[in-house]
């Protein structure tokens, strides 16, 4: 891993991200001031549970998995972050210690923002605070969704849900490419890879065709009522 300054394309990615685009421009600039960039290989650990955290991370490219460890060493994914998503805001307002482990799930480029500075800006500028509030609410909702899905849905239902969430409204049949390995998807859905595979083959009878990373949906209705 090496640390660099931001390139102009890095800046562009950041400024277009969901979070930055809600930030007052001056604040966005101020935060970018102290930003650095690091590159990581697959399986690199970005931080570990209970580590003291001084930076907020933003994924510029690649994929980051956030997970907790059980006593027996098993891993439970809490969240998966893609390009433009922000990691570690929670930490900033708690005790500054990570509540989970973060690991690159593919080769990744990560922007690191000083959380002290961001925290301070939030204390000075309600626009910044507002953006953070929206970000946290959004994260919170995703986690809640996840929890509810775990408790209410079977494996094929979760997968059907995931597929539908990638389906443009109105279209009856369509196809898309998984944004990451099935491995990672399984973790995100709280499944073992084998269970994901079996779920896909169950869904075949509802018009889901899987070819490598490409998912094709032939009958949206059937999926919805699964």
Which residues are near DNA by CB under 7 A? 74, 153-156, 181-183, 190-201, 210-213
User: Smallest distance, Å, CB 73 to a second copy?
Assistant: 10
Which of a second copy, DNA, none lies near 87, with the C-beta cut-off 5 to 8 A by kind?
none
Distance CA 39, CA 169 (A): 36
User: Smallest distance, Å, CB 161 to a second copy?
Assistant: 11
Tokens of 42: 């697959």
User: Smallest distance, Å, CB 108 to DNA?
Assistant: 15
Distance CA 121, CA 188 (A): 33
> Phi/psi zone of residue 212: left (φ > 0), alpha (ψ -120 to 50 degrees), beta?
left
Q: Which is nearer to a second copy, 1 or 192 (CB)?
A: 192
> What is the 8-class DSSP label of residue 38?
E
Residue 207: how many other CB atoms lie within 10 Å: 15
Which of a second copy, DNA, none lies near 210, with the C-beta cut-off 5 to 8 A by kind?
DNA
Residue 1 makes contact with a second copy by CB under 8 A = no
CB 83 within 8 A of CB 4: no
Interhelix angle 193-203/155-164, rounded to 10 degrees, is 70
Residues 165-204, one symbol each (x = binds a second copy by CB under 8 A, - = not), give -------------------------x--------------
Residues 81-120, one symbol each (x = binds a second copy by CB under 8 A, - = not), give --------xx-xxx----xx--------------------
Say what the alpha-carbon torsion angle 138, 6, 123, 95 is, to the nearest 10 degrees: 70
Which of DNA, a second copy, none lies near 177, with the C-beta cut-off 5 to 8 A by kind?
none
CB 102 within 8 A of CB 87: yes
Binding site for a second copy (CB under 8 A): 68, 70, 74, 76-78, 89-90, 92-94, 99-100, 122-126, 129-130, 132-134, 136-141, 143-148, 150-153, 190
């Amino acid at each position: 891993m090496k640390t660099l300054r931001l390139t102009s394309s890095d800046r562009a990615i950041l400024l277009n991200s969901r979070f930055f685009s809600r930030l007052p421009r001056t604040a966005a600039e101020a935060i970018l001031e102290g930003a650095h960039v690091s590159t990581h290989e697959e399986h690199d650990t970005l931080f570990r549970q209970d580590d003291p955290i001084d930076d907020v991370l933003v994924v510029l490219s690649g994929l980051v998995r956030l997970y907790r460890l059980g006593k027996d060493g098993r891993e439970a994914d809490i969240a998966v972050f893609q390009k433009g998503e922000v990691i570690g805001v929670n930490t900033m307002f708690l005790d500054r210690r990570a509540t989970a482990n973060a690991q690159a799930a593919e080769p990744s480029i990560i922007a690191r923002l000083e959380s002290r500075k961001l925290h301070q800006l939030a204390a000075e500028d309600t626009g910044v605070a507002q953006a953070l509030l929206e970000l946290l609410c959004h994260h919170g909702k995703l986690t809640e969704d996840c929890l509810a899905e775990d408790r209410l849905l079977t494996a094929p239902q979760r997968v059907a849900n995931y597929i539908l969430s990638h389906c443009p409204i109105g279209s009856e049949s369509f196809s898309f490419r998984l944004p990451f390995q099935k491995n990672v998807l399984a973790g995100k859905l709280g499944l073992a890879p084998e269970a994901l595979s079996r779920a896909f083959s169950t869904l075949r009878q509802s018009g889901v065709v899987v070819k490598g990373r490409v998912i094709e949906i032939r009958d949206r209705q059937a999926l919805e009522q699964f």
